Amino acid sequence: MDLSEIIRNRRSVMPVQYNTKPIAKEQINMLLEVANWAPTHKKTEPWRFKVLHGESQGKLGAFLAEKYKETDPKFSAFKYNKLQENPKKAGAIIAICMQRDPNESIPEWEEVAAVAMAVQNMWLTATDMGIGSYWSSPGLIKYMDEFFDLELGETCLGFFYLGNFDGPIEERIPGPISEKTVWI
């Protein structure tokens, strides 16, 4: 596929769609390497990643489910089970974190944008590799400092789920760009 086709074929592939074929460590390393080439203002390179592979995925699921039970007054057994099981369905999970420039030399939104571009690099590469992926940003990420050893100024922005999958993915046809563009 050329780059334009990869961009058009990128989809969110959810954990429920993953099969049991594992994601190789070499594939994960390739995704991390391309993430590292994202643009970054003043070379702050704010992206930080924590790879969950194997047993640690179940531990993440247990943490998320229990934290949900502890903090949400509108408890749902369905959501509890989903939070507990989805991490185990993935071939791997990459926690997406951001290390804020301690000098705050650039606006925080630029650091977040740089991390998002790093994730987009991973997402497009995963698409090209035939790996399903999905960026999840549950409200529970605000508690991730209780699960991970985060550095001072580091925050978790979500999870990048990875998994092999069978079958076609639903086609996406965006609305016309002409409705989103003003020529001046």
- The DSSP result for 58-96, as a single string, is HHHHHHHHHHHHHH-SS--HHHHHHHHHHHHHSSEEEEE
**Per-chain mean pLDDT for the chain:** 95
Binned at pLDDT 50, 70 and 90, residue 133 comes out as very high
Nearest-angstrom CA–CA distance, 44 and 110: 10
> Contact, 101 vs 47, CB < 8 A?
no
Nearest-angstrom CA–CA distance, 20 and 69: 28
Does the structure show a pLDDT above 90 at 167? no
Binned at pLDDT 50, 70 and 90, residue 171 comes out as confident
Does the structure show a pLDDT above 90 at 168? no
> Where in the sequence is the domain holding 118, given as residue range(s)?
3-180
Predicted pLDDT at 39: 97
Hey, which bits of 6-153 come out as E strands? Answer: 47-52, 92-99, 132-136
Question: What mean pLDDT is predicted for residues 42-64?
Answer: 96
Question: What mean pLDDT is predicted for residues 41-47?
Answer: 95
Q: Please report which helix (H) or strand (E) contains residue 8, including its range.
A: helix 3-9
Reading the block at residue 46, the tokens are 């704010």
| pTM recorded for the entire structure | 0.94
43: number of CA atoms within 13 Å, CB side? 0
Beta bridge partners of 113: none
Predicted pLDDT at 59: 98
Nearest-angstrom CA–CA distance, 92 and 160: 8
Binned at pLDDT 50, 70 and 90, residue 73 comes out as very high
Question: What mean pLDDT is predicted for residues 74-102?
Answer: 96
CATH at residue 90: 3.40.109.10
Question: What mean pLDDT is predicted for residues 121-138?
Answer: 96
- What is the domain count for the chain? 1
